C-alpha cells in the first residue's frame, strides 16, 4: 500500500479527496514560493541600497579629493606666481579640459544619432527586394 505524507493510505481515498488535497498542497506550495521570492527580493533590495549608498559615498569622496587636489595644484603654483594668478591658471586649464571633453562628447553623440540600427534596416530592405524579385520570377 502507498501512503501520502500524512500517513493515510492513498488507496482508501476518493479521487475528489485526492484532487482536493493536491489543490491545497499546490496552493500552499505557491504561497511558500511567493514568500521565498519576497524574502529574496527584500534581501537583494537591501544589498542594492547599500551598494548604491557606497557608490554615492565614493562619488562624494572622489569629488572632495579632486577639490583638495585642485587646492594643492593652486598652492604649488602660488610658490612661483601670485596666488590669484595660480588659481586663474588652474581654472583656465580645467575650462580647456571641460571644453575638449564637451566637443568629444558632442561628436560621439552625433555619430550615435539617429538611434536606428541602420545596417539592419538596410539588410531588411535588401531581403524585401530579394523576396519581391523571387515572387515576380515565380509568376512568370
Q: How far apart are CA 27 and CA 17, in angstroms?
A: 15
The segments of the chain whose pLDDT lies below 70 read 1-11, 138-140
Beta bridge partners of 3: 9
Give tens-digit pLDDT for 59-69: 999 999 999 99
Grid coordinates representing 110 are: 552625433
User: pTM of the predicted model, to two decimals?
Assistant: 0.53
pLDDT of residue 1: 45
Between the alpha carbon of residue 62 and those of residues 58, 68, 70, 72, 136, the distances in Å are: 6, 10, 12, 15, 66
pLDDT of residue 13: 79
pLDDT of residue 97: 97
Q: How far apart are CA 87 and CA 74, in angstroms?
A: 5
Q: How far apart are CA 82 and CA 65, in angstroms?
A: 24
Please state the domain extents for the chain.
1-80, 82-140
Amino acid at each position: 500500500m502507498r501512503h501520502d505524507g500524512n500517513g493515510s493510505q492513498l488507496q482508501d481515498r476518493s479521487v475528489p479527496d485526492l484532487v482536493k488535497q493536491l489543490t491545497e498542497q499546490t496552493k500552499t506550495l505557491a504561497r511558500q514560493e511567493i514568500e521565498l521570492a519576497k524574502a529574496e527580493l527584500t534581501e537583494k533590495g537591501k544589498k542594492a541600497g547599500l551598494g548604491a549608498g557606497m557608490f554615492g559615498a565614493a562619488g562624494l569622496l572622489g569629488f572632495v579629493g579632486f577639490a583638495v587636489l585642485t587646492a594643492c595644484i593652486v598652492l604649488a603654483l602660488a610658490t612661483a606666481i601670485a596666488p590669484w594668478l595660480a588659481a586663474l591658471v588652474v581654472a583656465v586649464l580645467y575650462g580647456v579640459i571641460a571644453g575638449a571633453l564637451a566637443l568629444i562628447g558632442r561628436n560621439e553623440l552625433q555619430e550615435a544619432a539617429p538611434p536606428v540600427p541602420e545596417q539592419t534596416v538596410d539588410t531588411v530592405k535588401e531581403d524585401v527586394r530579394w523576396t519581391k524579385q523571387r515572387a515576380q520570377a515565380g509568376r512568370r
